[in-house]
Amino acid sequence: MKSLINKNRLRLLPSLMALCMLLLSGNIFAQDSTAAETTPQVEKPKPVKNTFESIWILNNQTVFVPQKKSLEVDIMHRFGTVNNGYEDFWGFFAPSNIRLGVNYAPINRLNLGVGITKLNMLLDGNLKYALITQTPGKYPVSVSYYANMAYDTRKDPDGGIFKYNSQRFSFFHEILIARKIDDRLSVQGGISLSHQNSVDGYYINGKDDTTKVLFKEMKFDHFAFSLSGRLKVTDVTSLLFDYDQPITRHPANNPSPNLSIGFEFYTGGHSFQFFIGNYQFMSPQRDNLSNTNSPFTYTDKATGKKVDGGQFLIGFNITRLWNY
């Protein structure tokens, strides 16, 4: 009888050991699960927002591209220069220039736009693509590419202005690099290429119907760089500046640099910029190629002529952004 009892106990021993192992393993798994649940999740860095409030910073574009399905309307105005004083009320009553524009972002990172300008009835189409967006720990700056194509729509039935239709076209390309230093300060730099299909000069027609160039006043391509910045004074008010410096030196008609300083007032989708500067065309290629208003006096090294400074004008930009 004793031997039978001992045998039964021995038979129960493996079952008890298996049960203990099962309980222990369940406790271990539960501890692992709890540890996994309490492990903090590492959040991915998010791109910096609101480097600029508008696609414009006075006379220049910014790296800013509105989010997908955003529609923006632009109204831009440049008065005459202030040099005549009270005679034309510091340019307010002088001949002015106006541009109307519409922009739309069909997809993220891409903005498309069209516009028309009063001077020369210049029709333009443009695009901007955000290549890189400033992201902590990943990208220290934002980089965007901007391109513009303009077409001079003035009537010329006698061909006195344009011999060929291709002469009406001009083009502009720019790489913009910006960094939001902190919540108040943002800075931006850009390098641009402007191209004109036609330049004035002296030409003669050969016997074989070819054209020989005797002298060209300007080159077809023009390089320049720009510096811009924004300093927030309050949540809705910012101090803006931009400076544009020509790089290419032409045989004649060298364009002058531009210096603009002003304020921006922003209230949720609506931006109003009021400033004083030198550019008047509101077409980037025309401003870079044809600006004759200089902020300071200098001597043109190509021609030796003195260029008078202080030729400023007052302007404003109004933009309205809708998100759908």
- Decide if 64 contacts 54 (C-beta within 8 A): yes
pTM: 0.84
The candidate with the shortest Cα–Cα distance to 171, out of 196, 153, 191, is: 196
| pLDDT grade for 33, boundaries at 50, 70 and 90 | very low
CA–CA separation, 229 and 65 (whole Å): 17
- Is residue 271 within 8 A of residue 53, CB to CB? The reply is yes
Q: CA-CA distance, 99 to 282, in Å (whole number)?
A: 7
Task: Say how far apart CA 309 and CA 259 lie, in whole Å.
Answer: 11
Nearest to 313 by CA among 268, 282, 277, 288: 277
DSSP string, 43-63: PPPPPP--S-SSSEETTEE-S
Q: Where are the alpha helices (DSSP H) in the chain?
A: 2-38, 284-290
In eight-state DSSP terms, residue 84 is G
pLDDT one-digit tens code per residue, 53-91: 999 999 999 999 999 999 999 999 999 999 999 999 999
Round to whole Å and give the CA distance between 260 and 262.
7
How do residues 265-311 score in pLDDT, each as one tens digit?
998 889 999 999 999 999 999 999 999 999 999 998 888 889 999 99
In what helix (H) or strand (E) does residue 131 lie, and over which residues does it extend? Answer: strand 122-132
Rounded CA separation 283/255 (Å): 14
pLDDT (tens digit, 9 = 90+) per residue, 213-237? 778 899 999 999 999 999 999 999 9
142-181 pLDDT tens trace: 999 999 999 999 999 888 889 899 999 999 999 999 999 9
